[in-house]
């Protein structure tokens, strides 16, 4: 087995659950990119404390996670879970501490946040259902032993 696999689009042999997860994450990434561009151009004003930089980093992270998950990288799946949990907990804490923020946010941002939550939750479920766990295990790279007599 070659330890220098190329990362690409979802592999042909990936289970349907992985392909659905990648579709959800790609949609989430696209939505994040559109929202970032709309805010960056000034068409939509960010709330106080909002940052185009943070939106850009989030978008880049989603794109990287999607790409690596599609390529069968298990570490990306676990890192996605960690960022999902941190983001969800942060959102809940924000809503509990400052519920009035929800009333001043533009409807587009509220809809985007809940759409992102739905897409990423679905992706998370898909990443741990069907044949996904087995597929990720089968994609682990292991160095091959050198041929006998090689130094």
Reported confidence tier of residue 46, pLDDT bands at 50, 70, 90: confident
Mean pLDDT, rounded, for 100-111: 84
3-state SS record for the chain = CCCCCCCCCCCCCCCHHHHHHHHHHHHHHHHHHHHHHHHHCCCCCCCCCCCHHHHHHHHHHHHHHHHHHHCCCHHHHHHHHHHHHHHHHHHHHHHHHCCCHHHHCCHHHHHHHHHHHHHHHHHHHHHCCCCHHHHHHHCCCCCCCCCCCCC
Per-domain boundaries in the chain: 16-138
Q: Tens digits of per-residue pLDDT, 49-78?
A: 777 888 889 899 999 999 999 999 989 999
- The more confident residue out of 89 and 48 is 89
Reported confidence tier of residue 105, pLDDT bands at 50, 70, 90: confident
């Amino acid at each position: 087995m070659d330890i220098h696999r190329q990362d690409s689009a979802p592999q042909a042999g990936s289970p349907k659950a992985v392909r659905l997860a990648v579709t959800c994450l790609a949609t989430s990434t696209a939505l994040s990119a559109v929202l970032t561009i709309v805010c960056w151009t000034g068409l939509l004003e960010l709330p106080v404390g909002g940052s185009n930089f943070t939106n850009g980093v989030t978008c880049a992270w989603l794109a990287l996670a999607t790409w690596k998950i599609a390529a069968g990288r298990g570490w990306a799946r676990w890192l996605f879970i960690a960022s999902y949990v941190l983001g969800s907990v942060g959102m809940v804490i924000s809503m509990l501490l400052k519920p009035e923020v929800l009333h001043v946010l533009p409807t587009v941002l509220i809809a985007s946040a809940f759409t992102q939550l739905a897409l990423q939750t679905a992706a998370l479920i898909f990443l741990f259902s069907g044949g996904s766990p087995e597929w990720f295990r089968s994609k682990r790279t292991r160095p091959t032993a050198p041929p006998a007599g090689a130094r």
